[in-house]
């Protein structure tokens, strides 16, 4: 049973790699904002239904809109944070073969016995061109956005998990997206898993 975690430098096409890997491996894809899985992807044991139900219950337990500020602060402190919900979803999904596309999933699943932690990287100039094309930005605006995103991710992973996002020791496979065609990169990851 393989669980792939996909962490990527902004602009290095990590999400596309994860999508194609999940498709080719025939396993569900877990993304931080949503859980995507074909029917019966978790073996038909209801685990996906339980996860979806749990996430809906957590959202439904949110504080009502018309409350005092003090009530809102108190209610907020009792609710799990968005990151805690994401971590719980990752942990639940990793009970079956899956692809987890989240830049911190490697840290959440560090101790997972069959995880293949993947880091997708690429040279800065290549990432700037990709990001600029995808988001219709100038080269300078793309560079600033990439720097900001990467700095934010690095800081959060270090603070929350005490792990270095750029350290190759944290990953099973580190790939340069600029050197391999997407299909070839996915084949490497299938073999690694």
Model confidence pLDDT, tens digit, residues 26-82: 998 888 655 434 444 444 444 444 555 545 554 444 444 444 455 545 555 566 677
Question: What's the whole-number mean pLDDT along residues 18-30?
Answer: 91
Which residues lie across from 117 on neighbouring strands?
A: 5
User: Is 80 exceeded by the pLDDT of residue 134?
Assistant: yes
How far is residue 34's CA from residue 28's CA, in Å, rounded to a whole number?
A: 12
- Report yes or no: 95 and 28 within 8 Å, Cβ to Cβ: no
Write the burial class of residue 77 (CB in 10 Å: 0-12 exposed, 13-18 middle, 19+ buried). exposed
**pLDDT for position 32:** 61
**pLDDT for position 132:** 93
Lowest-confidence region among 12-21, 51-60, 175-184: 51-60
How far is residue 174's CA from residue 121's CA, in Å, rounded to a whole number?
A: 7
**pLDDT for position 124:** 95
- Report yes or no: 100 and 8 within 8 Å, Cβ to Cβ: no
How far is residue 36's CA from residue 113's CA, in Å, rounded to a whole number?
A: 23
Mean pLDDT score across all residues of the chain: 80
How far is residue 134's CA from residue 14's CA, in Å, rounded to a whole number?
A: 13
Show Cβ contacts of residue 28 under 8 Å, excluding neighbours closer than 6 positions.
22, 35, 36, 37, 38, 41, 42, 48, 93, 96, 98, 99
Q: Which phi and psi angles does 76 have, rounded to 5°?
A: -65, -40
Per-residue pLDDT tens for 87-106? 888 888 888 899 988 888 99
**pLDDT for position 79:** 65
């Amino acid at each position: 049973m393989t669980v792939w975690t996909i962490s990527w430098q902004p602009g290095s096409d990590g999400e596309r790699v994860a999508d194609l890997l999940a498709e080719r491996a025939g396993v569900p894809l877990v993304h931080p904002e949503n859980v995507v899985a074909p029917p019966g992807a978790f073996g038909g044991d209801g685990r996906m239904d339980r996860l979806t139900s749990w996430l809906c219950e957590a959202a439904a337990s949110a504080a009502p809109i018309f409350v005092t500020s003090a009530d809102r602060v108190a209610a907020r402190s009792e609710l799990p944070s968005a990151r805690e919900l994401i971590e719980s979803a990752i942990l639940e999904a990793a009970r079956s073969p899956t692809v987890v596309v989240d830049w911190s999933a490697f840290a959440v699943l560090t101790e997972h016995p069959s995880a293949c932690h993947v880091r997708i990287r690429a040279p800065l100039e290549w990432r700037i061109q990709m990001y600029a094309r995808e988001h219709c930005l100038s080269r300078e605006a793309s560079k600033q956005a990439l720097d900001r995103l990467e700095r934010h991710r690095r800081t959060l992973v270090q603070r929350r998990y005490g792990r270095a996002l750029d350290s190759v020791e944290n990953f099973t496979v580190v790939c340069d997206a600029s050197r391999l065609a997407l299909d070839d990169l996915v084949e490497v990851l299938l073999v690694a898993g």
